[in-house]
């Protein structure tokens, strides 16, 4: 999805099966290094994948979702690196995928129609204070 043409092609393929009800951005890239040792090219790559690609997908899908009258955007990130300097693995495989899927289904549903801009930790209480 890093290529805009590929994003547009994927969206056209999805729309061929019906309206797009939600965009779920579940992207990320980790290049482990301490702040003072981080290579700027690595920082640009992380930003490109985690921010630009997510925005690109939303921009591509937004007109079709708006025309359909249903706009739901869910951005997923991981706190796997919080408090762990130079973490070498992103750790996505260790996340509780069924719980995340349930949260995404809720956020994309009519039941969450009044929910806007919320941070919803799905972490088994790991970040609870």
Q: Which domains does the chain have, with CATH numbers?
A: 4-94 (3.40.50.720)
CA-to-CA separations, 42 to 38, 80, 113, 119, in angstroms, rounded: 7, 19, 38, 27
Give tens-digit pLDDT for 67-81: 999 999 999 877 655
Q: For residue 51, give both structure tokens.
A: 């921010």
pLDDT tens digits for range 77-93: 776 555 555 554 444 34
The half-sphere exposure of 81 on its side-chain side, counting CA atoms within 13 A, is 16
The predicted structure's pLDDT at residue 62: 95
Look up residue 63 and give its two tokens. Answer: 């007109």
| pTM exceeds 0.85, yes or no | no
pLDDT (0 to 100) of residue 69: 92
**Confidence (pLDDT) at 90:** 46
Distance CA 26, CA 28 (A): 7
Average pLDDT, the chain: 83
Q: Which stretch of DSSP H or E encloses residue 100?
A: helix 97-107
3-class secondary structure, 25 = strand
Segment 105-125 shows an average pLDDT of 89
């Amino acid at each position: 999805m890093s290529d805009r043409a590929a994003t547009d092609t994927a969206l056209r393929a999805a729309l061929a099966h019906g309206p797009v009800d939600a965009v779920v951005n579940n992207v990320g890239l980790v290049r482990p290094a301490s702040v003072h040792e981080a290579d700027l090219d690595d920082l640009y790559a992380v930003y490109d994948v985690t921010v630009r690609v997510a925005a690109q997908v939303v921009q591509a899908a937004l007109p079709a979702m708006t025309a359909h009258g249903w706009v739901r955007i869910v951005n997923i990130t991981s706190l796997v690196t919080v408090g762990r300097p130079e973490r070498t693995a992103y750790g996505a495989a260790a996340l509780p995928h069924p719980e995340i899927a349930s949260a995404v289904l809720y956020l994309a549903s009519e039941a969450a129609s009044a929910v806007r801009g919320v941070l919803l930790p799905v972490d088994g209480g790991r970040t609870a204070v």
